[in-house]
């Protein structure tokens, strides 16, 4: 796609961005990139700690004399047009004359309210908070359509990158067997020292001579052997399932399994793994979303938590030619893997914002609650248990996330609506937390979720 050509003629129209949750992680990377984007200005930043906003902006290189802290609507209205407004109340961001709201707090109550308020004012919304989209995405897409605004996931995070890859394949008429991503961390094995490193930042290393016996892929028995060797590292990560939930709801692809499959695999093996069981793969059904854990040598490039699709090879001669070029084709010649080995966080996000603000591209009115991220008790949980989302992976202690088809989820409560919820009765190990087990009726995000469920799949 020639972005510069596509944007030609729209250069006089400028995006004025407001960012909620702006000081760390995703927000930081976006703040760092905006000054390099010719058609975009930073107008407002919001954090519960305004002093952190100012410090981060100065660190990045924004001029201090442009920063104006505002606590009221009146202060905002009297501020210079070129000022960067710093606010602590997210509701004030919509008063700042922005054209684009970027929401990256991860707080479902804040992000759902902010998104709805913006859309109803005709302000475009770019949703980084995947937790909120997993609950409210169908409803917010419809609200955007109704109000002539844009609601969009953002490039730089895996769901939008994967949806873009999926749409490219659909445009070309390719049949997709599976779509997915690499989990966040790699397993790196040094064949010389036989030492394995897990790249989660913990510094965990382990002598693993047994990896040599399953280093070359021979079939499902190889995957079983790897999983057994790495059993202490394997986990179901709620953030992974949440991201695949978003992709499922837009594309209609279904979860491959409730906890997804997480095979430990090299990139070169993906076209042999994410194919039907009867053809030597791991899939019990096709047209699915899934996740793998990247296995590589120490001198091999990482997949960087990137995205992939597995497509059917309709013309054998064509794919033989492409295989000769180095593309990944399955051993039986029937499937190929196409992939993006990246997601660059806020560095990429301006592309999504400009496509939305200047060309109206982003809203998916076809988005439906195709799958639901739920939580199953990983032990007996007594009445009165309080659920809390915590940690880097936004997990909930006591629950194992499961991504289920809507028809299989029944009355299960959405995983990220459980933050702060209290069990009204005992729940046995293995049981899903249901809407009857907790009281969510007072939550505006729950109302949006319920409205979204009224949309037929």
The phi and psi torsions of 30 (rounded to 5 degrees) equal -70, -45
- Predicted local confidence at residue 9, as pLDDT: 64
Region of poorest pLDDT, from 7-16, 218-227, 317-326: 7-16
- Predicted local confidence at residue 22, as pLDDT: 78
Helix axes 349-359, 25-33, angle to 10 degrees: 70
Mean pLDDT in residue range 119-127 = 98
Residue 2 has pLDDT above 90, yes or no: no
- Predicted local confidence at residue 25, as pLDDT: 86
**DSSP code of 257?**
S
Mean pLDDT in residue range 141-147 = 98
- Predicted local confidence at residue 335, as pLDDT: 98
Contact of 137 with 367, CB cutoff 8 Å: yes
Contacts of 417-420 with C-beta under 8 Å, sequence gap 24+, read 417/108, 417/135, 417/443, 417/445, 417/446, 417/449, 418/375, 418/387, 418/389, 419/108, 419/387, 419/388, 419/389, 420/386, 420/387, 420/388
Query: Burial of 390 by CB count in 10 Å (0-12 exposed, 13-18 middle, 19+ buried)?
Result: exposed
- Predicted local confidence at residue 201, as pLDDT: 86
Residue 108 has pLDDT above 80, yes or no: yes
Residue 358 has pLDDT above 60, yes or no: yes
Mean pLDDT in residue range 385-403 = 95
Q: What is the pLDDT of residues 146-201, one digit of tens each?
A: 999 999 999 999 999 999 999 999 999 999 999 999 999 999 999 999 999 999 98
- Predicted local confidence at residue 392, as pLDDT: 84
Q: What is the pLDDT of residues 261-320, one digit of tens each?
A: 999 999 999 999 999 999 999 999 999 999 999 999 999 999 999 999 999 999 999 999
Global pTM? Answer: 0.96
Sequence spans of domains, the chain: 3-156+346-359, 161-343, 371-453
- Predicted local confidence at residue 222, as pLDDT: 98
Which of 394, 347, 364 has its CA nearest to residue 237? 394
Region of poorest pLDDT, from 20-34, 90-104, 435-449: 20-34
Residue 233 banded pLDDT, cuts 50, 70, 90 = very high
In this structure, the chain runs to a length of 457
Q: What is the pLDDT of residues 203-217, one digit of tens each?
A: 889 999 999 999 999
Contact of 26 with 128, CB cutoff 8 Å: yes
**Considering Cα of 24, then 25, then 30, then 33, what sign does the dihedral take?**
positive
Residue 11 has pLDDT above 60, yes or no: no
- Predicted local confidence at residue 10, as pLDDT: 58
Mean pLDDT in residue range 238-255 = 98
C-alpha 327/C-alpha 362 separation (Å) is 30
- Predicted local confidence at residue 391, as pLDDT: 86
Scanning the structure block, which residue is given the tokens 């999926």?
166
- Which value, to the nearest 10 degrees, does the dihedral of the CA atoms of residues 373, 450, 286, 236 take? 0
- Predicted local confidence at residue 283, as pLDDT: 98
Mean pLDDT of the chain: 96
Residue 7 banded pLDDT, cuts 50, 70, 90 = confident
Buried b / exposed e across 189-221, counting CB within 10 Å, b at 16+?
A: beeeeebbbbeeeeeeeeebeebeebeebeeee
- Structure tokens belonging to residue 220: 């499902």
Strands, E assignment, 315-453: 328-329, 335-340, 371-377, 389-390, 395-396, 399-405
Query: Burial of 294 by CB count in 10 Å (0-12 exposed, 13-18 middle, 19+ buried)?
Result: buried
Domain 371-453 listed as CATH 3.30.300.30: no
- Predicted local confidence at residue 303, as pLDDT: 97
| Beta bridge mates, 19 | 45, 102
**DSSP code of 436?**
T
Which CATH number is associated with domain 3-156+346-359?
Answer: 3.40.50.720
Contact of 15 with 358, CB cutoff 8 Å: yes
- Predicted local confidence at residue 255, as pLDDT: 98
Contact of 423 with 397, CB cutoff 8 Å: no
Give 2-59 as a DSSP string.
Answer: -HHHHTTT-TTS-EEEEEES-SSHHHHHHHHHGGG-TTEEEEEEE-S-HHHHHHHHHH
Residue 456 banded pLDDT, cuts 50, 70, 90 = confident
Residue 64 has pLDDT above 90, yes or no: yes
Q: What is the pLDDT of residues 365-377, one digit of tens each?
A: 999 999 999 999 9
């Amino acid at each position: 796609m020639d972005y510069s050509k596509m944007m030609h003629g729209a250069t006089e129209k400028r995006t004025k961005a407001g960012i909620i949750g702006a000081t760390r992680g995703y927000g930081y990377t976006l703040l760092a990139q905006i000054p390099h984007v010719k058609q975009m200005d930073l107008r407002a930043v919001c954090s519960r700690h305004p002093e952190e906003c100012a410090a981060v902006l100065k660190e990045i290189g924004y001029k201090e004399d442009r920063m104006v802290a505002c606590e009221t609507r009146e202060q905002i209205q009297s501020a210079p047009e070129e000022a960067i407004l710093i606010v602590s109340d997210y509701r004030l961001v919509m008063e700042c004359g922005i054209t684009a709201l970027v929401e990256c707090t991860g707080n479902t109550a804040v992000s759902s309210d902010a998104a709805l308020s913006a859309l109803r004012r005709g302000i475009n919304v770019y949703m980084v908070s995947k937790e909120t989209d997993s609950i409210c995405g169908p409803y917010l897409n419809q609200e955007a359509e109704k109000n002539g605004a844009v609601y969009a996931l953002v490039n730089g995070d895996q769901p939008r990158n994967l949806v873009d890859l999926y749409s490219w394949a659909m445009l070309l008429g390719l049949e997709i067997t599976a779509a997915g991503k690499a989990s966040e961390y790699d397993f790196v094995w040094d064949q010389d020292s036989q030492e394995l490193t897990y790249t989660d930042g913990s510094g965990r290393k382990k002598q693993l001579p047994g990896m040599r016996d399953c280093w070359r892929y021979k079939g499902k028995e190889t995957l079983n052997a790897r999983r057994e060797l790495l059993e202490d590292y394997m986990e179901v990560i709620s953030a992974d399932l949440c991201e695949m939930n978003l992709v499922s709801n837009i594309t209609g692809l279904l979860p491959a399994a409730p906890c997804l499959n997480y095979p430990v695999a090299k990139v070169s093996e993906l076209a042999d793994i994410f194919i039907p069981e009867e053809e030597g793969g791991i899939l019990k059904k096709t047209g699915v979303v899934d996740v793998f854990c990247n296995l590589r040598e120490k001198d091999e490039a990482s997949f960087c938590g990137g995205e992939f699709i597995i497509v059917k090879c309709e013309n054998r001669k064509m794919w033989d030619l492409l295989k000769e070029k180095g593309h990944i084709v399955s051993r039986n010649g029937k499937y190929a893997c196409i992939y993006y080995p990246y997601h660059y966080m806020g560095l990429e996000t301006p592309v999504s914002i400009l496509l939305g603000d200047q060309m109206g591209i982003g809203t998916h009115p076809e988005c439906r609650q195709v799958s639901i991220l739920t939580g199953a008790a990983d032990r007996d949980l007594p009445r009165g248990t309080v659920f809390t989302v915590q940690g880097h992976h936004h997990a909930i202690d006591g629950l194992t996330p499961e991504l289920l088809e809507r028809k299989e989820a029944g009355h299960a409560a959405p995983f990220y609506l459980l933050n702060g919820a209290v069990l009204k009765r005992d729940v046995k190990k293995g049981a899903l937390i249901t809407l009857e087990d907790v009281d969510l009726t007072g939550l505006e995000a729950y109302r949006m979720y319920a409205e979204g469920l009224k949309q037929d799949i």
